[in-house]
Chains A and B, each alone.
Chain A
Amino acid sequence: MLEFMLGHYAYWFTTALLLLGLYGMLAKQNLVKKLIAMNILQSSVIMFYVTMGSKRNATVPVLDPSITASNPYLYINPLPHTLMLTAIVVSVATTGVAFAILILIYRRYKTLDETVLLERMK
């Protein structure tokens, strides 16, 4: 049991981050804090993929002259990293759009707090 917990610590960590992000999005009242929580959510998935790709005693997937291409198992899996580069870009774009929307909200309602916002929207 203990080895199970300890052996999978990376996955426990990412799960905790994911739940943290979800909690923040739901429970926090400030819209910017919700956004930050969203970023945490996305980061947790990114961590998950990176963990997926890592291996013990393996090196970065940059062609090393001492290993050459003859033994590919000594490189960590580059695919999750490339996928996550895309995912990071998506995350940044989403944050950008979210900020633009937040600016719109602020201009219209002069607040970024959810409860005050609900009042002002009526």
Chain B
Amino acid sequence: MISNNIPVLIPLTFLVTAILIVILGSWRRFFVHPLAILGTAFSFVVSLYGLTTVLSSGTIRYHIGGWIPPIGIEYVLDPLSACIATIVCGVALLVLIHSRVSVESELPEKVIPFYAIAMLLLLGLTGIVVTGDLFNLYVFLEISALSSYAIVSVGEKRAPVAAFRYLLLGTIGATFYLLGIGYIYLLCGSLNMADVSKLLAASQINPALVVGIVLMIAGIGLKMALFPMHGWLPDAYSYAPSSGSALLAPIGTKVAAYALIRMVVYVFPSEYVQKDLPILDILAWLSAAGILYGSVMAIAQSELKRMLAYSSIAQIGYIGLGIGLGNALGFIGAILHILNHALMKATLFLVAGNLRLKIGHSSLYQFESVIGRKLPWTSAAFTIAALSMIGVPPTAGFFSKWYLVLAGIEGSRWFFIAVILISSLLNAVYFFRVLEKMYLHVHPKEDNTEMKVAERDEVPASMLIPTLVFAGLILLFGLFNVAIIDWVIKPMILSNP
């Protein structure tokens, strides 16, 4: 009985937790954080259970209100959505454990609203992942977007302006997506994803369909920070509070990438996106441009979080490129990179949060003492994540690049292979620069005072353990990537009708 309800349990838990946090939190502030952890943990366990069930017995469908699709809205848990849901809940769980001390120190009087809105954010994100209805996706998209605007706006310095800009651009994206759905509805009369894909497969391509597809992809692309619609991302990630960016960066854009995969691979018939309209091609080219742009801009940054934000644009490019290459290896590379990048970025942003706690900032040229000595474990976690971003085996990042390179070779797309490899080298440039600053005594600060030799002053366990767990998972998922591919990703390809 419970397995049938899993698709709806995953987002619903977050809704209930959000309400409980507000009620119980106003009574005793002590309850807020444990409630958040409990809710996320429950969702994580349920989605993990859902993943194993789906992989063994097939897709689970839940009909909201008992209305049969295509009239009713259904929530679908197939291998792809179960996998992404597990990733979202798992990453969120570890980040929220980390966030207790971080939020207390950065936003002391806003603890209750922060956690409540974080729950709503996760509601929106998991809702996007499990839903099987196009309009329902819009609703959850906006729920998650509004929550992220709120989370970004409570940061420091320019955060409200960054949040406002994010709001404007995000709304444009969502509105385009909505308009796209309108065209699809006009043509098909249905909003259910499975139904639409059948109906579209049976019809001819016509201008209204083209407009619909393009608008939907443009809308999701903006949420995903696909080049050139990435303009909101650097400011939003840099100025959000540490835990906020740690929540948004690893999973926010990934869920939008999932939505893109859902549209392009499962809903739209493959002839439309590959032969009639060069959608996949354009996606690949834009992603390649994003990869290069993100990597180059990251080199120019002097503040860690901003550098990571530009790096995220590049990494989203890898996922887009994987989809755009259009073959099975590219798909594997893209999905694997969703997982790997979530882990890597989570580690990196958690490290930025640790730095923020201990030295008050994360600006590279202003390190006063040798971070490697002051925060040895944090630095070690950063090193592993950096090596993974560069693509050094046997960390996870290497394997997603390996599959993308193989996919490029299979399709004889030499330019894209060159882009992937050059971006690895560019990644090495900016990450090794940070590693140099973290570990070596030599570089004095910008105002030329000498570096102090610091005592060890590591962050508390509740912040350290999630950081280290993520770093460990990067190594683990790298070595065991074949297990992930065989058990989780291959069924996704096979379940595509």
Q: Would A and B touch once assembled, by the CB under 8 A criterion?
A: yes
Name A's B-contacting residues (CB within 8 A): 18, 22, 25, 31, 34, 38, 41-42, 45, 48-49, 52, 79-80, 83, 86-87, 90, 93-94, 97-98, 100-102, 104-105, 108, 117, 121
Q: A52-B186, A94-B142, A101-B149 are in contact. Are A45 and B160 (CB under 8 A)?
A: no
Instruction: Determine if B277 is an interface residue (Cβ-Cβ < 8 Å).
Output: no
CA distance A52 to B150 in the complex (A): 33
In chain B between 163 and 215, which residues have their CB closer than 8 angstroms to a CB of chain A? 163-164, 167-168, 171-172, 174-175, 178-179, 182, 185-186
Are B135 and A94 interface neighbours, CB within 8 A?
no
Return the chain A residue nearest B190 by Cβ. Answer: A79
Q: How far is the CB of A105 from chain B (nearest CB, A)?
A: 5
Q: How far is the CB of B373 from chain A (nearest CB, A)?
A: 35
CA distance A25 to B167 in the complex (A): 11
Interface residues on chain B, size class: 20 to 34
Q: How far is the CB of A88 from chain B (nearest CB, A)?
A: 12
CA distance A25 to B150 in the complex (A): 20
Can you spell out 25 A-B residue pairs with CB atoms less than 8 angstroms apart? A25-B172, A31-B164, A38-B171, A41-B171, A41-B172, A48-B182, A49-B182, A52-B182, A52-B186, A80-B185, A83-B135, A86-B135, A86-B139, A87-B138, A93-B146, A94-B167, A100-B153, A101-B153, A101-B163, A101-B164, A101-B167, A104-B160, A105-B160, A117-B161, A121-B161
Instruction: Determine if B158 is an interface residue (Cβ-Cβ < 8 Å).
Output: yes
Q: Return the contact of B168 from the options A25, A79, A121 (Cβ within 8 A).
A: A25
- A97 neighbours in B (Cβ, 8 Å): 146, 149-150, 167
CA distance A45 to B180 in the complex (A): 10
Q: Return the contact of A90 from the options B139, B153, B161 (Cβ within 8 A).
A: B139
Return the chain A residue nearest B169 by Cβ. Answer: A25
- B146 neighbours in A (Cβ, 8 Å): 93-94, 97
CA distance A57 to B126 in the complex (A): 43
Return the chain B residue nearest A14 by Cβ. Answer: B179
- B178 neighbours in A (Cβ, 8 Å): 45, 87
Are A94 and B171 interface neighbours, CB within 8 A?
yes
- A48 neighbours in B (Cβ, 8 Å): 179, 182
Are B171 and A45 interface neighbours, CB within 8 A?
no
Are A90 and B160 interface neighbours, CB within 8 A?
no
- B168 neighbours in A (Cβ, 8 Å): 25, 34, 38
- B175 neighbours in A (Cβ, 8 Å): 41-42, 45
Kindly supply a per-residue 1/0 record for chain B positions 448-461, scoring 1 wherever the CB is within 8 Å of any chain A CB and 0 otherwise.
Answer: 00000000000000
CA distance A36 to B470 in the complex (A): 43
- A80 neighbours in B (Cβ, 8 Å): 182, 185
